[in-house]
A and B are shown apart, each in its own frame.
Chain A
Amino acid sequence: MLAMNYRGPYRVRTVERPMPEILHPEDAIVRVTRTCICGSDLHLYHGMVPDTRIGTTFGHEFTGVVEEVGPLVTNIKVGDQVLVPFNIACGKCNFCKQGLYGNCHESNTMATAVGGIFGYSHTAGGFDGGQAEYVRVPYANVGPTVIPADMDPDDAVLLTDVVPTGYQAAEMGGIKEGDTVVVFGAGPIGIMAARCAWFFGPSRVIIIDHIDYRLEFAKNYAKCEAYNFKSMEDPVVFLKKITDWYGADVCIDCVGCEAEGNALQTFTGKITLMQAGTATALQWAINSVKKGGIVSVVGVYGPPFNYVPIGNILNKGITLRANQASVKRLLPRLIDHVQSGRLNPKGLITHRVPLEEISDAYRIFSSKLDECIKTVLIPSTKP
């Protein structure tokens, strides 16, 4: 089968690999019909995530058709069209039972701080990902969800990560009616977080980035205010000023470890790797939120540490909330939002690329070429 293959920072290709096999009685094999490149895949592509081994197949956003199931799989059957949450979750550990499916304790041997994630380095369990024609799906009774018959497959694939992560970013913000919400980062997750924030009743949603075409896209898609931080003297002062010198009620970091905008963070985080990437967006979020406000983090940071103004979290009484999205917990609500027409996930998709052209697809997304927002890869496999 054809699969994406990581060869080092900024180098990927497709190769022929052996078909995945059932390795556990609760496994399934899924033939991939759609798979996306996530913004967080770029952290792997740029060599920022420790224990990303040469030969790994990335991809944690995918839909497909069930081709084979293990003897203990009862919730899905061969032929089902499924969307597969990016979290690999057992459904039995204390964390899964509490709905924390992103924190499963039985899906990652290599690290305890994160549950298993498809195609996201050995730090997230060493699983092959879905940027391939076929993929092994562990715990197939828990994660894979049959796609409703009337759902567009492009909407379905975005329900595996982008929509739940954006929604949970807003949910963790504890937004109250009339609040002002600031979202840092106008990538797919940031745009979705801005759109989903409206479900919680704010009066203003503001998005901050430095790429004009993305800001324009966000403004139209998420009906929010959009500002380019490169045209400001100081984004924190700007945000204070437009909130009556008070600060936002909620700030959401949707950027993570490759943020731009602060020379010291860039030098220590990107050039010298003295910290796990740049924490500029998180720094701005902490410093832009009101006293007693909430900072919600879904931007991905690698281990082991980052420079953030922890003293201001104390002094301002900020609540910091963060997690990998709990996709399975959120799916019923989000499927309802999509089916009722309130959410239009596929509106984010700007590029559809055959799996064979994965090297170009990564470059276009990474370098933000051709006004790229979201790329879907389509394997050519026929049933």
Chain B
Amino acid sequence: MNALKLYLFHQLNLNVMNNQNQDYKNIPGWGMDIDPDNEPTYPIKNYTGDDHNRSNYEKAEQQPITIELLKSNERPKPSVVFGTSVPPSGLSGAIRRYAFKHSEDRYRHWIPLILADRVNVWEGIIDDFKKGTIPNIIKERGWKAEFRHNPVNMIGKAAVALTIGGLLIRHLCKRK
């Protein structure tokens, strides 16, 4: 394996010179946006000094808050506009409310949010069944496309899953 890697490494080195674009100055637009001021210390912003006014800038009127809105505790008020997609609900919502008691600096903020996302997946499945919808996992996961474009890999994955599943069922049956 190491010998193969070494061989490929040497081949790669041989190709380096061939790959270099010697005609680069003829690439359309080459060099036309060079900015001599663009040194590492040159920020890509138009400095106005307004930072020193802190949060006392002119704001548009507040979007009416008609849903439960979880707010970062690193700001005093909600932002002027906000998304109204999927307000918190259920067990995942309770976990999210806990997370938002802590700042973005704390693991107690982010880890519960990741946990809430996983709980929310199961809530989604339960919700689907409540509404009489059976989730079409095969379609949702795009397995048709995977099978069309990568059948060998798909069959391999299915074989592994079936084997593991079969062994698990056999093991459980034996225990009983």
* CB pair B6 A233 closer than 8 Å: yes
Residue of A55, A88, A128, A171 touching B44 (CB-CB under 8 A): A171
Which B residues from 34 to 88 make CB contacts under 8 A with A? 34-35, 38-42, 44-48, 50-51, 53, 55, 57-61, 63-64, 69-72, 74-75, 78-86, 88
CB-CB under 8 A from B50, the residues of chain A are 94, 97-98
* Shortest CB distance A324–B (Å): 12
Output the nearest chain A residue to B69 by Cβ-Cβ distance: A109
CB-CB under 8 A from A9, the residues of chain B are 121
Output the nearest chain A residue to B40 by Cβ-Cβ distance: A319
CB-CB under 8 A from A205, the residues of chain B are 21, 24
- Assuming the A-B contacts A99-B46, A342-B29, A359-B139, are A92 and B124 also in contact, with contact meaning beta carbons closer than 8 angstroms in the complex? no
Contact with B along A161-185 (1 / 0, CB 8 A): 0000000100110111100000000
A50 in contact (CB, < 8 A): yes
* Shortest CB distance B122–A (Å): 9
Q: How far is the CA of A90 from the CA of B81 in the complex (A)?
A: 9
Q: How far is the CA of A165 from the CA of B144 in the complex (A)?
A: 32
* CB pair A57 B85 closer than 8 Å: yes
B167 in contact (CB, < 8 A): no
Q: How far is the CA of A337 from the CA of B28 in the complex (A)?
A: 10
A110 in contact (CB, < 8 A): yes
A76 in contact (CB, < 8 A): no
* CB pair B136 A13 closer than 8 Å: yes
CB-CB under 8 A from B72, the residues of chain A are 109-112
- Assuming the A-B contacts A92-B57, A126-B86, are A201 and B145 also in contact, with contact meaning beta carbons closer than 8 angstroms in the complex? no
CB-CB under 8 A from A12, the residues of chain B are 140
Most buried by B among A55, A94, A106, A241: A106
* CB pair B83 A11 closer than 8 Å: no
A100 in contact (CB, < 8 A): yes
CB-CB under 8 A from A223, the residues of chain B are 21, 24, 27
* CB pair A341 B135 closer than 8 Å: no
A62 in contact (CB, < 8 A): no
* Shortest CB distance B3–A (Å): 11
Which A residues from 47 to 83 make CB contacts under 8 A with B? 47, 50-57, 72
* CB pair B24 A198 closer than 8 Å: yes
- Assuming the A-B contacts A108-B79, A125-B79, A198-B24, are A168 and B85 also in contact, with contact meaning beta carbons closer than 8 angstroms in the complex? no
Output the nearest chain B residue to A117 by Cβ-Cβ distance: B83
A203 in contact (CB, < 8 A): yes
B12 in contact (CB, < 8 A): yes
* CB pair B28 A342 closer than 8 Å: yes
Q: How far is the CA of A23 from the CA of B78 in the complex (A)?
A: 15
B32 in contact (CB, < 8 A): yes
Output the nearest chain A residue to B12 by Cβ-Cβ distance: A231
CB-CB under 8 A from B88, the residues of chain A are 53
Output the nearest chain A residue to B47 by Cβ-Cβ distance: A98
Residue of A109, A326, A367 touching B75 (CB-CB under 8 A): A109
* CB pair A303 B70 closer than 8 Å: no
CB-CB under 8 A from B85, the residues of chain A are 53, 55-57, 122, 126-128
Q: How far is the CA of A93 from the CA of B60 in the complex (A)?
A: 10
Residue of A7, A122, A204, A219 touching B135 (CB-CB under 8 A): A7
CB-CB under 8 A from B34, the residues of chain A are 175-177, 200-201
* Shortest CB distance B85–A (Å): 5
B9 in contact (CB, < 8 A): yes
B5 in contact (CB, < 8 A): yes
* CB pair B81 A364 closer than 8 Å: no
* CB pair A112 B75 closer than 8 Å: yes
* CB pair B80 A90 closer than 8 Å: yes
* CB pair B124 A108 closer than 8 Å: no
* CB pair A360 B145 closer than 8 Å: yes
* CB pair A110 B58 closer than 8 Å: no
* CB pair A172 B44 closer than 8 Å: yes
CB-CB under 8 A from A303, the residues of chain B are 104, 110
* CB pair A51 B113 closer than 8 Å: yes
Q: How far is the CA of A30 from the CA of B33 in the complex (A)?
A: 33
* CB pair A128 B140 closer than 8 Å: no
CB-CB under 8 A from A86, the residues of chain B are none
* Shortest CB distance A108–B (Å): 6
Output the nearest chain A residue to B16 by Cβ-Cβ distance: A242
A138 in contact (CB, < 8 A): yes
Q: How far is the CA of A108 from the CA of B110 in the complex (A)?
A: 17
- Assuming the A-B contacts A26-B60, A126-B83, A294-B40, are A110 and B71 also in contact, with contact meaning beta carbons closer than 8 angstroms in the complex? yes
CB-CB under 8 A from B27, the residues of chain A are 198, 223
Ranked 8 nearest A-B pairs via Cβ:
A363-B142, A126-B83, A127-B83, A201-B31, A319-B40, A8-B121, A360-B145, A369-B149
